[in-house]
Amino acid sequence: MLGADVAAGDIVFPEPELITVHDWYVVNFAAALDELGVEELFAPEKVVLVTDHEPTAVSPQAAERQKQVREIAARFGIDNHFDVGRGGHGHVFPVELGFVRPGMFVAGYDTHVPNYGAVGALGIAMLTEISEVLACGSAWLRVPETVRIELTGRMAPGISIRDVAQRLIADFDADQIDYTVVEFAGPALADIDLDARFTLCNTPIDLGAKSALVEPDDAVLAYLSDRVEGDLNPAYSDDDALFRWRGGYDVNLLEPQVAAPPRPDNVVGVSEVAGTAVHHGFVGSCASSLLSDIRDTAAILANRVIHPRVRLFVTPGTQEIWRRAADEGLLQTLVDAGAILTAPGCGPCAGGRVAPLASGEVSINTGTRNDPGRLGPNDADIYLASPLTVAASAVAGEIVDPRELLAGD
């Protein structure tokens, strides 16, 4: 815990209560520690290793890397190693399993660790500095300022939280958000469930935010009550807290939103890109792989088939989400429509090793990035949208407003 005398701009050395590292960096941190002569971790009991970027080994090299991760976990005494089939996406399942609680400080090797803000935890990406945290227990951090966004209004039918999250980063200036913690509050949260809060906390990073979180309410505390050991002690901003900026944001959008190439903040209304032919779709990633996202996808695909030109991949975020989606019959709906299910984890969003694009193809998906080359060739275009818009476009074979299909149900 930081003392009351700590202020924005101060340099501190906070000790995280949880440290997460995904499979693609484990070998790297072990090599870095070997180079430094470090033989033991500062607190191995705080470390969670996750296999989510490549749960399905698609090459002998990938299988070898998975083997090395298992050996490194054993070598450093990391008991919380969630291998293939045992967890899922590292930005989601630690919440399900009770590793994350409100008010917690989590350090992770990945830019989207702020997902944990969905339950009021502060997740900050340390990237390569995670080796220092593993060896010494901490690394320096400049205390960020805070931006408080008070959400108002109500989302209209056919508009999802992904539309709001994408529109929001287009409407705010990067200088306003850069190196801040974005704190979401306001009356609209009453209609924004936990699944949606993961999405909400995911996107501000693309404007340079250091982290994001949502004020934990009774619904979040009830969800965590039988998952987290010990008392829940959520943290809230003081009434006289200082913010870089504070203001409202209306979630009542007029139409679904799409991030057009080549950046996540290049967001337009779906009507501006409607009619663009697509070849590839994907629902998943740490931004949109929750049960509600699978439900939205199935709602569009029910009694429909995917366009013959389109291949649609769906990646449930975690083993628990997969099981619950199966129990509800959602996975059967997806398969009947012609969708392809992949192992819980990042799915194609990890960089296209699974389900890449071919030269000149177009993808519409719920991934976190749409940079050229993200899913393979630099001349392939990527559009980011909500699960509703992705599924509707996969059925139509071109980008469409999902409300057109929902109106026909």
Domain boundaries, the chain: 11-142, 145-229+237-250, 261-407
Please give the average per-residue pLDDT across 335-341, as a whole number. 98
User: Is residue 22 over pLDDT 80?
Assistant: yes
- Residues with Cβ within 8 Å of 206's Cβ and at least 6 positions away in sequence, in order, are 169, 263, 264, 265, 368, 369
Task: Name which of 53, 327, 89 is nearest 199 in CA terms.
Answer: 89
User: Can you tell me whether residue 71 is helix, strand or coil?
Assistant: helix
Q: What is the pLDDT of residue 1?
A: 43
Residue bearing the bigger pLDDT, 142 or 354? 142
How does residue 4 score in pLDDT terms, banded at 50, 70 and 90? low
Identical fold for domains 145-229+237-250 and 261-407, yes or no, is yes
Q: What is the pLDDT of residue 407?
A: 86
Please state the CATH superfamily assignment of the domain spanning residues 145-229+237-250 in this structure: Aconitase, domain 3 (3.30.499.10)
Q: Does domain 11-142 have CATH number 3.30.499.10?
A: yes
- Residues with Cβ within 8 Å of 156's Cβ and at least 6 positions away in sequence, in order, are 252, 253
332 and 353 Cβ atoms separated by less than 8 Å:
no
How does residue 6 score in pLDDT terms, banded at 50, 70 and 90? confident
Please state the CATH superfamily assignment of the domain spanning residues 261-407 in this structure: Aconitase, domain 3 (3.30.499.10)
Structure tokens at 55: 């749960």
Residue 83 CB neighbour total at 10 angstroms: 15
Please give the average per-residue pLDDT across 10-31, as a whole number. 96
The pTM score is: 0.96
Q: What is the pLDDT of residue 71?
A: 98
pLDDT tens digit sequence for 169-216: 999 999 999 999 999 999 999 999 999 999 999 999 999 999 999 999
d(CA 49, CA 36): 21
pLDDT tens digit sequence for 88-99: 999 999 999 999
User: Is residue 227 over pLDDT 50?
Assistant: yes
